[in-house]
Structure formats: structure tokens, C-alpha cells
Structure 1
Amino acid sequence: MEANTEDVDEQQGQDPIEEANRNFHSTKDTAVSINEPVSTYTSHLEEAPETDDDNDTVGNTTFETTYGSDEDDSNDVPGEADIQRTEEIDAYSIDEEDEPPKLKYSRITGLPPNFFSRDPVSCCNIHDDYYIFATHSGIIHVTDPNFTTIRTFKAHRASILSIYTDGQFFASGSMDGTIVIGSIKDEKDIIAYDFKRPIHAVVLDPNYSRTRSFVSGGMAGKVIHSSKNWLGQRSDIVLDENNGPIVAIHSVDDILLWMNDKGISIFHTQARQVIKVIDKPEDSPRSDLYWPRVHSLEMDRVLIGWANYIWCIRVSIRTSEDKSEMASNKSRILPSAATISFRAVQEKKVEIEHVFKLDSLIAGISSFTDDYWMILSYEPPTADGDEKVKFNYPDLKLINSLNGEVDFEEEIGMKNIDNLGLNDYSLHRHIGSDSTSYFVVSAKDGIIAQEVQLNDRLDWYISHDRYRDAWEISEHLLSPEKRLNLGLKHVDNLVRDDGWELASQLLAEYFSSSMSYDEDFVKNVVSQWESWSSIFIQANHIKELTEVIPRSPKFSLSASIYDSILSYWIGKNVSKTVELISEWDVELYDSKKVESLMETSLEGSESSILRKCLADLYVKTYKPQKAVEHLMKLKDPNLFMFLADNHLLTNFLSDIPQIIKLKFSDDEYNNLPLKILENKLRDVIQVLVDHRHELNTRLIFNLMEQQHLTFINYLYLEKLNDIDDFLLSSFGDERVKLYSEFDRPKLLPFLMRSSDYDIDLAISICESSDFIEELVYLLGKIGENKKALTLIIDKLNDPEVAINFAKHQNDREAWNILLDESMTRPAFIKALIETADDQSNPFYDPISILKRIPNNVKIEGLKNSVSKINENNELNYLMNQLILKLIYGRSEAISKGYRRNLLKGYEIETNDAIFKELIGKFQTILFYNDSLDSNPVFKSQSEMFPQGMAVTAYTNLDKKLEHLQFLTNYLKSKSANDDL
């Protein structure tokens, strides 16, 4: 149904722009034409009255307008140099605050002088590319985001209650009942419509440049969709009516939302119907008393704040395919032949995600960061005890979008708030290239709030002497030098408050984080290290400094710093001294000075820990010889290996026995088994052997002998024998003694294989030690066979040893002595009979033994021994027969095989070219082979025998046999001659 609200000017055929200009000129003396240049309007404006800005109050805080950068970045345009765009407000002057505020503020000062003062702002629209401010006098002021004026003109005769822009066109609705729509840049592209009743809200069609349609509403209580028909006249369709004044209209894609007494109506433009109505809560105030605030969160979400309620609504939006199928000529709402389509319209889904009720009224709403919403709350005036009305400052609140809880709240100290109501305030968001700004605008003032950035936090920390916090956040904000200075200021504050321990820890942190920069800066760091180290030392806080002082020589700090630290600890704490010297590089300090201090300290009081540390220090400074004295006092069991590793064995040769003894406690070595001694001295013996060309073997032997360390000599000579036995050629007698004392099983083999010893001495040693076997060998070696056999028979009473001795001597005299002595000993007689063999046959045989046995000698088991001899003889005979039979059988097999190979025939290929050639010669063909395993070689008679031999082909068998015999004899004789 069309509304009967066509423009009277259009009905009379008059130009609406000229009529608007005429009406605007007649309203006020300061009014200007819609097309009047900006400079003309500016010249007519009266200057705003001066206000006291030196003590502005914003965010419940007193601010100084001098805070911030000294540079003027207002980007003034020519002709507007007297207008400051924004006035930064110091929001960080509250001493009670522990942390930087979330928001910083600046006052809008870039508008014409009369704005906010003589001509209050009635509404505004903050677009990504443009700012539009409208006043109660009907003036519209358009700027870019830098507040550079683009246009300023009078558009209405009364207060402008709604302003809208899509970035190309703007639309304004006024209390005078008119709507003005025009291009932002093209001053000539503008048109006005009169709806006769106050307009509260107006929005343009998303395709206004093509459709020239828009939606409006106001006190008439109607939501009207206006467009131009095919005759170019305005055509209106009422979308909703009779539900009270329209207080807001908002569009999201193809969805319209309007608010009136009925609540929130959601209209689908393609379906041409209201798809959902959200009723007003029963406890909410009158609709037109507090106008709602609408903000688009995302493409498919809308945030509505109305009175003290918040709704978060989600709608399904169109796809690109849906948009391409839209009617392109006329209004999507106006049914006509060009727009009627039978295509099914996609069903829209509307979902209420959240509904929150607040304790305060909402004058503005916007999205914030991290799932937060920003709310501009309004508190109605209150009366004090004298019934004087008190107007309250608005508050900015951050509400958690998940639970509706208020997590942040701050009062905004705006100017001239008296007599202002909720509808006089608004909140807008602008996403700039650097940061997001939040515009808090009232009729009398405008403030821009921005989330505090790192730079702002840094400035706040510095201004509050919070240098530690400033240092932590300034890594990417300040140069290394400035950042280090912040840290040092923090350290200085800690030192002033006697916080030396924390100061030292942070000092190390600040310096260590600065070592990755250029060389000049590193030099500065080193210089600062030295300065602060001196401060700590002079204040006698060396303990704190010790824990943080650099321990790497790359810092190149003065050695005197480290000398002072070590000097302090040497006289105070031995354990700490040892820790530092073990961990610090010797290049850090003056080692000579420290060594002298340690020597002096040890003279006064003994400390094994300090002495060991001093010895280690001597080693680090390449003076191991000085360390030996201290290690000997410490009875270091590893001292011998220390000497070896540092090539000092020759320097302390006479002390080697005593040094080796350090590996044992007291006289422990006298009671330990040789095996354990060998394990404990394995490394020592190996070193002595490895240094055999450096350390004289005889000298080492004598030193050990003098200290009664003969077990070392034994182990030493044994190891040396494995490596270089040539060096032991003069140690024969010593080895006999050592073997007799420590390892008798090796004595006899040594005596048998060596001749580098005094045999008389060896005999003496064996006699004194009662070593019969060794003594028997030695006596036999010097020809004392009788004495030797006597020892075996009398001492050992072992017939087997006696027989083996006689066999070894292989001497008839020895055998005779053995036989004579054995005749009275049954065990010996039996052994001689049973062990008779080829080696003993030249000297006796079992039969002769049997004949010599005395009659009175009883030999147990003699019968078995005799039987055994007989069995052995028969067995030998059988074994010989078997062996002979095997030899005969093998010979016969070889002979038969040979004969068979000589007589066997061979297959030959008759097609072979060589064979055919031989057959064609009519000669005797011979074949032979050098090996029984290979095939024969064929040759003709003429090739095998000299000329003149008979080569006649015979057909008579006898002749052939005679010829064959002749050839055979010839070959045999030739073979015999070749062998000779």
C-alpha cells in the first residue's frame, strides 16, 4: 500500500534543490546553500566561546593536554591551519593506578568552531572513509578520517535526527520532516524529500546508486520504502505502521531491522515479509524515550542496545549467487512485471545468540577486542539533598560477550553535560590503518577513545618510574641503548632502596639481553658492567655481584673486578672460592695474584679443599710442577698419573716409590694378594713400561728394591717382558728370585727357556725354597743326573717324573741309575713295564725288567701289566695288517682307473673341419692327451714323425699291427730321450 506522502515540490514541478536552498536561506542568517562552497560557510561561522581546557576531565581523571608527542601530526589543509584536529588528553596522571589504563582519550577539536558550543551536534556517522557530523541547526559537516573538511552545508531547517552514509552517498532525516540524500563528493548530486512528519531514521538501499531507493521512519509510525517509479517520481511502500514511532532502522545485507513500540522487527527484503519480531521486555521504558543503538558485529551478526537490554542477533546472509539473481532494475519490494519471479526465495534464519540485562541505560554500543563489547552507559540525573539536579558523566564499559559481565568501567569526563539526555550521546567505531578509534559524541563535546598501545603503555610506565615494566615491553619499541637505560634506571632504584640482590639479578638480565648487537653497543655494555661492578664492590655487596658477574672472557671486563671478588671469598668462604676458581676461566683474573693469596691463606690455616683448588689452578695456568708439592701433601692417589700426564716423572724420579705408595692406605700393600695389587697398579705399570726409554729400567728396579716394593718389580718386569724382552736380558737372576717369590708356576718354564741367569744362584734359591722340580731340572742341566734322580725318587717318589727325566736326558747313565734305583720300588718297576716305548727301547725292554726283579719284591698288578704288554704287541700287529690292506686296496683302485682311462674310447665330431682334413690325407691318425681328464688331440702321422718314416696305408691287418707297434716303440724311445 502506497503512502500518500509525495513531495509537494515534485507535484508542482519545481526543482526541489532550489526550494531547499530558498528555505535554508530564510531560516538563519548563518545558513548557506546546499551548493555553497565550504569556505563561504566557514567565513560566516562565529567563533565558539573560549573554554577552560587546561583542566579537562575525561575517564574520571584529570588530564594535561601537553601529554604526548611534540610533533603536530594534524595534517591541516590550506585555509584551516587554525583548526586542531584532536586534542590529546593525558589519561595517566592518577597515582593510585597500578596498571596502565585500557583506553587513552583525545578530544575532538577539528570541527568548525560553533560545533559543540552554539550549534550542538545532534547526530553523526563514522564511516571507514568519511566522518559526517550533523547539528540541531540542520548543518552537515563532512570530513575525511584526518578531520580535513570535505563539505559543510545547511541541509535542514531543524534538528537532524538521523544521518546515514554508504561511503558514496549520504542520507539525513530531520525533525522538519525532510530527508536529504546526496553524493558526498559531488555537490550537485543532491535531492530533498518532504515526509511532513519528523524523521527519526533513514537508510539507503545497498544499491542506491542504481535503484535510488531508501527506507525511513519517524513520528508517523510508518516504515516506508521509497523509490523512483518508471516516470521518475517517488513511490512509497509502507512496510509497517500503527506500532508507535519508529526510533531506529538498520540494514544488514538483505535484512532490515526497525524498532518501535512493538519491539524489534526483522524484515527480509527478498521475501517481502517480516520474518521475526523480538518483543520488548515488559520492564523496559517507553520506546521513544531512549532510542536504541545498533552496531553490526560481523556480516551476519547485529548488536542492539536498547534502554538497559542488549541483544546479539545472528542472521543468515546471502551468498554471491543469491545476490546475482536479485532484481536489478526496480525495487526488490515493489512488485512489477520486471521484478516478479517465481523462483523460491531462500529461507532466512534468525537466531538470538545472547540477551543481557544491564544495570544502566545504553547510550552507545560497539564491538571491542577479545570477545568484548564496548558500552556507553547513561545514568539519568539525580537530585542531591538540596534538590539540585546533578547530571552524571557517561561511563565506558567493557562487557564480556560470553557472560554479560562488566570487566572494565571508566567514567568519561565530557564537557557541558548539563541538560543532556541519553539520546544526546552516541558511540561509534572507526577502524583505522594504525588503530581502532571509538568516538564518544554528545551534543556538546566529542572524545575519541583508543585502546592503549604498547607505546602508550611504555610512556605510562616511564612516567610512573615503572622501569622494569617499561623494559619488558620495549624490545621492539626502543633502540638497544634506550632500552638498556630503562633497565639501569630500574637497577638504580633498587639499589637506592637497598635491594641489592634483586638489582644484581636484573643487572645480569639487562646486560645479557644486549650482547647480540653491534660492536660499539657491546663496548658500552662492557663499560656499564665495569661501572656497576665497582659500585657493588665499593658498597661491599660482592656476594650479590658474584652470582651475576659474566663468566666468559668475551666480555673482556677488567681483571681487577674478578681479583676483588676472589680476594673477598678466599678469606671468607673456602667452598665458594673453590667453586669460582673451578668455574671461572683463568683469563678473567690475575692468576699470579690469586695464587699468592691462596698460598698465604694455606700458610695460616690448613685446608685440603683450598690446597686441592690451588693445585688445580697451577695446572690451569700451565705450572703443573708447582702443583706436585700440594698433591703430595694431599696424598693424592692419582699423583703418579698426574706426573705421567704432565711429563714430570723424570723430575721426581726418586719420589716415584713414595708416590706409588699413595695409592694404598698405610701398609695395605703388604697384606693384599698379588692379583689385587696387579689390578690397582695396572695403570702405574703401564706408564713405567710406556716410559721405558725415558726411565732407566735398572734405576726403577733399584728404587723399588730399596723401598721393599718387590711386587712392583715383579709386575713391572712381567709387563716389560711382553713388550720388550730385550731390556730384560740382564735381569735373569732377579727374575728367578721374583718368580720364586710371587709366581712359582712360571719359574720352571723360565729356567728351561732362558740362560740369562746364574745357575748356581738358581740352584741355591730352589734348594732354599725346596723347589724339587725346578732343582731336578737345574741338576740335570749341569749333569748331576744321579743327584737329580735321587731327588725325584726320594723326594717326589714319582716314577712318571723320573722316567720323563731319563727320556729327556736320553743318556744311558741316567737310565741305568733309574733302573738300578727302581728295582726295590714296585711302583717304579710297574711304571717302567707299562711305559716302555720306542724311545726307551734302546735302554731297556719290559722283558729285561721282568728278569731283573728281585724275588723278594712283590709288585701289585704285575700280571695285568704283563698282559697289557702282550695286548699292545698283538694290537700293533693287527694295526699294521689293516694299514697294509688299505694301501693295497687303494693302489689297486688307482691302477684300474688308469688302465680304464687308457682303454676307453672318445666320441668325436665327424663334421669337425680338422678331423675331415686328417681323414683326407690317407695317413695313420694318432691321438694323445697330456691329462686323463681332457679329451685327446688328433694329429696325422706326418705331423708326429720325421720325414722318411713309413706312411703307407695298409689294408692288411697284420701290417697295420706291425705299423702300430713301430710307431709305439718310436714314441716310447722319444719320451725316454726327452726325460734324459
Structure 2
Amino acid sequence: MFKTTPESNCYICGIAPLENNLVVFTFDKEGQTSDEPNKYIADRPHLQIWEPGTNYYEEISDDALSFRAFEEYRCFDYHLESVVEESLYFLISPKDVVVAKLRDHDDHITWLLEHKRYEDAMESAMTHSRELKRHNVQELGKQYLEHLLEAENFNEAAQLCARILGRKKELWESTFEKFNDIGQLKVLAPYLPCGNPLLSPHIYEIVLNEFLRTDHEGLLRLIKSWPHNLYNMQAIINRLRNEYERDKNNLILLECLGELYTFQNRFDKALAIFLRMKHKDVFSLINKHNLFDSITDRIVQLMQFDQEKAVKLLLDNIGKIPIKKVVQQLEQSPELLHCYLDKLFQKDPQLGQEYHALQIKLYAEYDREKLLPLLKNSTHCPLQKALEECRNRKFLPEQVFLLNKMGDTKGALKVIMEQLDNVQKAIDFCKEQNDKDLWDDLITFSIDKPVKNIFS
């Protein structure tokens, strides 16, 4: 039991239970003022819900009601009847009967739509989809999309398409037309389904053509991400080639063509494009599709693009790309040839033994430090030619080694004494050879040298 507060300033026309709350039909004690003296104009009655407590109550809701001629009525003109079991409440005036009942989820969604709260309406519908009778998620979603497009929130609308349109091909295609009509295909493109549902091929072609016209980088992203069976590839290739003819410095268009040729299994054309571009996927393309026959005439290009990767590819596939073929291709590029033969020698000194004579000149020109190891480890070096090369270039340690290997120890000693001018090295050399005559030669060569500390 509780008393209404003075602030409520109302009469109670009727009262009924609503679960643990009370439904209260009220009438304001004070009406509206009038220009006519002593004229009383009643306010509209109210339907309120109160949460009762001990000695207090809390107002939960308050709705003003419109009855015909309500200005003329008083408190005793209104009555409240109820069917508690069905939560139905009958508000009775002399001219009207208003039925009040609890709002359901459909009512709530209707109210949200009336207030343009489309996102909330859709969320509520998704949460209570099984309880709805007048609304459904898809229709609400379409209304929400229309609202977003009218408000020019194109990105948000595109992001919601998958959630709203689901797997309905017809809805996707009609929505596509709406985005196309307002020139926003580029916004929709990342969200278009590429299967389940699969849209008509011309839709994907329209999108690709739009990107070809306005955004080449975006076009490349789509070509790489979309399955190649979505559209007519040859039609897109033809348009790309026409565009490229007008802009031959456009490497993005060239890469688009390379990707499409790869999808068509036209690997020769794709490889030629990627080599021209020096594209990072060249080597994976060759390995993946076994394109070794296609690169036998492009070895120089591969080496110029990335020596390390190219040499590894060549050495890993000697059976498919013979050493002889590689050497023939690189003959006019001696520095590249040196790089290849050097790695080949490191892999196995016997593999390229017929080219060791060539390597002598290459090492002498590009990497002298590796010349002596080659001379020491190879059994196929022409010693006389090697000696001539070293004499021409005045490579003295290499001459000493070659003369010694050829059995001309006296000549080797002479180089040490007269050109290297290293007596200690000469002594060590004589010790290594253990040849009495060589010691005599050392003495002969030393006659004109300072004798101090030569022998000890």
C-alpha cells in the first residue's frame, strides 16, 4: 500500500495488475486555462505503468491518450477494464474504447523504423527473428541499405551487403545495379561474392572495366584475388592490350596481362612479361609450371634480374638446363658467366671441368683470390695457358705455384728471388722441395743479394 505523491497531481480512473507492476488510468486534476471566464478544458487522460514498492512507487511509462471530445470529460467519465490473463486493457470513454496491450518485437521494430533507427531495427530483428510476424531481417536490411545509399554512406552500405543479402543472387544483382547507377561500383567491388552465390559473368566484367578505366592498381588487386572463372578472361585481356597499346610505359597494366596469361596457362607470354618487368614471381612461376624450356634463351635476362636466384635455379636444374647451354648464353656477358661458373665450381669442381680454362681468365679478371684455389684443385686446367695469363697480369704467387707444378722448380725459385724478392720464402721453398741442386740455385741467385741473415 502506498500513496500517490503530490507531484503526480492526478486522479486515478482505474487500476489493474500487469505481472508485478500496475496499469494505472489517470486524469489530471488541473486542466487547461481558457479565454472564457470559469471555462475548464480537460487534458488528455494518461495510461501509466507503475512499479509499486513499500510506501512508494516508480513510474515506468506514461502515454497520453487521445479520445474524441476528451476536453469535455471528467475523471468519472473514464473506466478501465482488463483481461489480466491476456494482458489486455480496455480504456473506456463515453465515445471510445481503446484497447491497450503489451508491445511485441514487431511493434518495437516499427517504432525504430518510424524514428529512422534502421540499424537498431535490423539488430533487433536478427535477435528475435523467430518471434516476428510482420517484419523480417531481409526486408529490414533492404530498407537500411536504401537509407544508407540515400545518405551517401556508400562504404557502410557496401560492407553490410554480405550480411543483408546473404546468398540471394537476385538481391545481389539488383543491389549491384543500384551501386552501378550511382557510380559506386569501386566501393562495392571488394564485397561482391565470388561463389555461393555466383553472380552473372557480365557483372564481374563491368567491375573490371570500371577499374580499367579509373584505377589500375585496384584492377590488379581484383585480378589477383578473384577466381579466374568468374568472367571472360579473353575479353578482359583484349581490353587490357588495347589500353596498354595506348600507354606502353604502364607496368601495372603489363602485370595484369601477365597474371591473366598465367590463368590461361599461356606461361610463355606470362614469363616474357614478368621478365621484362623484373617481377619477383618470375622464379616461382618457372619452378611451379616447369618452364625451363622457355628460359633457355632468356638466361641473360634472368641473371640481370637477380643473379643469386637465377644461378640457384640453373644449378638446381642442370638436367633441364645443361651447363653448355648456359655458357653459350652467357658468353657475351663475361661477368655473369664468371658468377655462374664460380658457383658451379663451388657446387662440384668436376661438373664444369671443361670450362676451367675459361675460368682462369674470369677469375683473373673478376676475382683473383679464387684463382689459386682453382689451380690447386682442378685437374683440367691447361697449365701453360694459365702460366701465360699469370705472366701477362704479373700474378707472381700464381706463377710460383704453376712453375712448381710443371716441374720447373728453378724457374719458380727465380720468380721468388728476383720478382718477389723474398729470401725467406725462397728458403722455405727449398726446404719443401728437398733438392740439393735447388739450394745451389738459391746461392747463385743470392750472390747479388745482401748476405746478412740469408742463412741461419
Category of TM-score, reference length = shorter chain: 0.7 to 0.9
Deviation at 1:763, TM superposition (A): 1.0
Evaluate the alpha carbon distance shift between residue 303 and residue 625 of structure 1 in structure 2; reply closer, same or farther with a 3 A threshold.
farther
Evaluate the alpha carbon distance shift between residue 536 and residue 756 of structure 1 in structure 2; reply closer, same or farther with a 3 A threshold.
same
Evaluate the alpha carbon distance shift between residue 377 and residue 366 of structure 1 in structure 2; reply closer, same or farther with a 3 A threshold.
farther
Deviation at 1:696, TM superposition (A): 1.7
* Residue equivalent to 1:703: 329
Q: Quick one: which amino acid aligns to residue 394 of structure 1? A: P
2:374 match: secondary structure: helix
- Whose strand proportion is higher, 1 or 2? 1
Whole-angstrom distance in 2 between the partners of 1:370 and 1:502: 45
* Residue equivalent to 2:380: 756
Q: Quick one: which amino acid aligns to residue 309 of structure 2? A: D
Q: 1:654 aligned to 294, 297, 300, which one?
A: 297
* Residue equivalent to 2:3: 304
**8 Å CA contact 2:2, 2:57 repeated in 1:** no
Deviation at 1:399, TM superposition (A): 7.4
Deviation at 1:541, TM superposition (A): 3.8
Evaluate the alpha carbon distance shift between residue 591 and residue 501 of structure 1 in structure 2; reply closer, same or farther with a 3 A threshold.
farther
* Residue equivalent to 2:211: 569
Q: Quick one: which amino acid aligns to residue 357 of structure 1? A: E
* Residue equivalent to 2:273: 630
* Residue equivalent to 2:343: 719
* Residue equivalent to 2:26: 376
Evaluate the alpha carbon distance shift between residue 411 and residue 626 of structure 1 in structure 2; reply closer, same or farther with a 3 A threshold.
same
* Residue equivalent to 2:317: 691
Whole-angstrom distance in 2 between the partners of 1:462 and 1:824: 114
Q: 2:453 aligned to 830, 833, 838, which one?
A: 830
* Residue equivalent to 1:735: 359
Whole-angstrom distance in 2 between the partners of 1:752 and 1:579: 55
* Residue equivalent to 2:440: 816
Whole-angstrom distance in 2 between the partners of 1:479 and 1:594: 48
* Residue equivalent to 1:410: 64
Whole-angstrom distance in 1 between the partners of 2:133 and 2:233: 38
Evaluate the alpha carbon distance shift between residue 383 and residue 810 of structure 1 in structure 2; reply closer, same or farther with a 3 A threshold.
closer
1:357 match: secondary structure: helix
Deviation at 1:711, TM superposition (A): 3.1
Evaluate the alpha carbon distance shift between residue 583 and residue 501 of structure 1 in structure 2; reply closer, same or farther with a 3 A threshold.
farther
**8 Å CA contact 2:205, 2:231 repeated in 1:** yes
Whole-angstrom distance in 1 between the partners of 2:322 and 2:388: 29
Whole-angstrom distance in 2 between the partners of 1:796 and 1:490: 92
Q: Quick one: which amino acid aligns to residue 601 of structure 1? A: E
Q: Quick one: which amino acid aligns to residue 257 of structure 2? A: L
**8 Å CA contact 2:296, 2:325 repeated in 1:** no
Q: Quick one: which amino acid aligns to residue 683 of structure 1? A: K
Evaluate the alpha carbon distance shift between residue 382 and residue 634 of structure 1 in structure 2; reply closer, same or farther with a 3 A threshold.
closer
Whole-angstrom distance in 1 between the partners of 2:426 and 2:224: 70
Evaluate the alpha carbon distance shift between residue 527 and residue 500 of structure 1 in structure 2; reply closer, same or farther with a 3 A threshold.
farther
1:615 match: secondary structure: helix
Whole-angstrom distance in 2 between the partners of 1:636 and 1:418: 88
2:2 match: secondary structure: strand
Whole-angstrom distance in 2 between the partners of 1:724 and 1:822: 43
Evaluate the alpha carbon distance shift between residue 412 and residue 546 of structure 1 in structure 2; reply closer, same or farther with a 3 A threshold.
closer
Structure 2 length normalisation: TM-score? 0.79
Q: Quick one: which amino acid aligns to residue 732 of structure 1? A: H
Deviation at 1:611, TM superposition (A): 1.9
Q: Quick one: which amino acid aligns to residue 697 of structure 1? A: I
- Whose helix proportion is higher, 1 or 2? 2
Whole-angstrom distance in 2 between the partners of 1:553 and 1:692: 43
Q: Quick one: which amino acid aligns to residue 453 of structure 2? A: K
* Residue equivalent to 1:395: 46
**8 Å CA contact 1:471, 1:487 repeated in 2:** yes
Evaluate the alpha carbon distance shift between residue 806 and residue 503 of structure 1 in structure 2; reply closer, same or farther with a 3 A threshold.
closer
Whole-angstrom distance in 2 between the partners of 1:507 and 1:636: 33
1:449 match: secondary structure: strand
Evaluate the alpha carbon distance shift between residue 468 and residue 722 of structure 1 in structure 2; reply closer, same or farther with a 3 A threshold.
closer
Q: Quick one: which amino acid aligns to residue 3 of structure 2? A: I
Whole-angstrom distance in 2 between the partners of 1:530 and 1:369: 49
* Residue equivalent to 1:357: 7
Q: Quick one: which amino acid aligns to residue 350 of structure 2? A: F
Whole-angstrom distance in 2 between the partners of 1:819 and 1:371: 128
Q: Quick one: which amino acid aligns to residue 326 of structure 2? A: I
* Residue equivalent to 2:408: 784
**8 Å CA contact 1:484, 1:511 repeated in 2:** no
Q: Quick one: which amino acid aligns to residue 419 of structure 2? A: K
Whole-angstrom distance in 1 between the partners of 2:134 and 2:348: 68
Q: Quick one: which amino acid aligns to residue 357 of structure 2? A: D
Q: Does residue 453 of structure 1 match 2:104? A: yes
**8 Å CA contact 1:396, 1:411 repeated in 2:** yes
Q: CA offsets per residue over residues 697-754 of structure 1, 9 Å max, x none?
A: 12212322212xx333333223222323321221221222233223333333432343
1:585 match: secondary structure: coil
**8 Å CA contact 1:365, 1:374 repeated in 2:** yes
Runs of 5+ consecutive residues of structure 1 not aligned to the other structure: 1-301, 311-355, 516-521, 664-680, 835-980
**8 Å CA contact 1:542, 1:565 repeated in 2:** no
Q: CA offsets per residue over residues 583-639 of structure 1, 9 Å max, x none?
A: 323232222211121111111223222222222333344433222333344354764
**8 Å CA contact 2:119, 2:144 repeated in 1:** yes
1:727 match: secondary structure: coil
Deviation at 1:508, TM superposition (A): 6.7
Whole-angstrom distance in 2 between the partners of 1:443 and 1:528: 52
* Residue equivalent to 1:603: 245
Whole-angstrom distance in 2 between the partners of 1:372 and 1:797: 120
Whole-angstrom distance in 2 between the partners of 1:431 and 1:600: 78
Whole-angstrom distance in 1 between the partners of 2:38 and 2:102: 39
Evaluate the alpha carbon distance shift between residue 715 and residue 357 of structure 1 in structure 2; reply closer, same or farther with a 3 A threshold.
same
Runs of 5+ consecutive residues of structure 2 not aligned to the other structure: none
* Residue equivalent to 2:421: 797
* Residue equivalent to 1:584: 226
Evaluate the alpha carbon distance shift between residue 719 and residue 374 of structure 1 in structure 2; reply closer, same or farther with a 3 A threshold.
farther
Q: CA offsets per residue over residues 404-428 of structure 1, 9 Å max, x none?
A: 7897441252799967545x65668
Deviation at 1:790, TM superposition (A): 1.9
* Residue equivalent to 1:559: 201
Whole-angstrom distance in 1 between the partners of 2:82 and 2:271: 82
Whole-angstrom distance in 1 between the partners of 2:330 and 2:391: 26
Aligned length: 448
Within 5 Å, which residues of 2 pair with 1:514-529?
Answer: 515=166, 522=167, 525-529=168-172
**8 Å CA contact 2:44, 2:66 repeated in 1:** yes
2:381 match: secondary structure: coil
Evaluate the alpha carbon distance shift between residue 430 and residue 815 of structure 1 in structure 2; reply closer, same or farther with a 3 A threshold.
farther
Whole-angstrom distance in 2 between the partners of 1:826 and 1:465: 109
Q: CA offsets per residue over residues 332-387 of structure 1, 9 Å max, x none?
A: xxxxxxxxxxxxxxxxxxxxxxxx62344444567889999856233467786386
2:351 match: secondary structure: helix
Q: Quick one: which amino acid aligns to residue 441 of structure 2? A: I
Percent identity over the alignment?
Answer: 23
**8 Å CA contact 1:398, 1:409 repeated in 2:** no
Within 5 Å, which residues of 2 pair with 1:251-650?
Answer: 302-305=1-4, 310=5, 357-363=7-13, 376-379=26-29, 385=36, 393-397=44-48, 408-413=62-67, 420-421=74-75, 432=85, 436-438=87-89, 440=91, 447-458=98-109, 471-475=122-126, 476=129, 477-478=131-132, 483-488=137-142, 499=150, 501=152, 506=157, 509=160, 512-513=163-164, 515=166, 522=167, 525-534=168-177, 537=180, 539=181, 541=183, 543=185, 546-547=188-189, 550-606=192-248, 607-636=250-279, 639=282, 642-650=285-293
